[in-house]
């Protein structure tokens, strides 16, 4: 297993790790990988892409965390994240949030643990 170049990662936290929080975290350390809040595929496909994906260049490296259950939608949104310059695309595969579980995306929407691998 390859070792991570990051000394610290700040996990995605809904309603918390927005771009303002990430900017603050970046001021604390240049040696951390920062994550967005989880962004659902529906929010990107049907909503304001710029509102969900914009970030300050000073925040880099930033990882985009996506939540969704449809492979084609996840692939489309991952490409959007790549186009917007995210360092990494992260798929939510186990968020404990009740909101995520009610939304039937991420791990809660997959009947078996092998579902994420079937997307590749």
**Which residues form the domain of 36?**
8-118
Residue 35 lies in a domain: yes
* Cα 41 from Cα 75, distance rounded (Å): 9
pLDDT tens-digit readout, 61-83: 999 999 887 889 999 999 999 99
* pTM of the predicted model as reported, rounded to 2 decimal places: 0.78
Residue 15 to residues 2, 7, 12, 21, 113, Cα–Cα distance (Å): 31, 24, 9, 10, 27
The answer, yes or no, to whether residue 29 has pLDDT greater than 70, is yes
Residue 103's pLDDT band, with cuts at 50, 70 and 90, is: low
Residue 3 lies in a domain: no
Any idea what the CATH number is for the domain that residue 100 is in?
Answer: 3.20.20.70
Total domains in the chain come to: 1
Looking at 21, 77, 93, 95, which residue is catalytic?
Answer: 95
pLDDT tens-digit readout, 4-17: 777 778 777 777 88
Residue 71 to residues 24, 43, 67, 76, Cα–Cα distance (Å): 33, 15, 11, 9
93 is annotated as an active-site residue: no
Residue 34 lies in a domain: yes
The pLDDT of residue 17: 83
């Amino acid at each position: 297993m390859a070792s991570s170049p990051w000394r610290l990662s700040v996990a995605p936290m809904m309603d918390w790790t927005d771009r303002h929080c990430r900017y603050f975290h970046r001021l604390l350390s240049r040696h951390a990988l920062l994550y967005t809040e989880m962004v659902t595929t529906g929010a990107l496909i049907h909503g304001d892409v710029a509102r969900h994906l914009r970030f300050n260049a000073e925040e880099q490296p930033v990882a985009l965390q996506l939540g969704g259950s449809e492979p084609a939608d996840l692939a489309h949104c991952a490409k959007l994240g790549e186009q917007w310059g995210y360092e990494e695309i992260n798929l939510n595969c186990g968020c404990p949030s009740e909101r995520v579980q009610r939304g039937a995306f991420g791990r809660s929407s997959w009947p078996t643990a092998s579902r994420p691998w079937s997307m590749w």
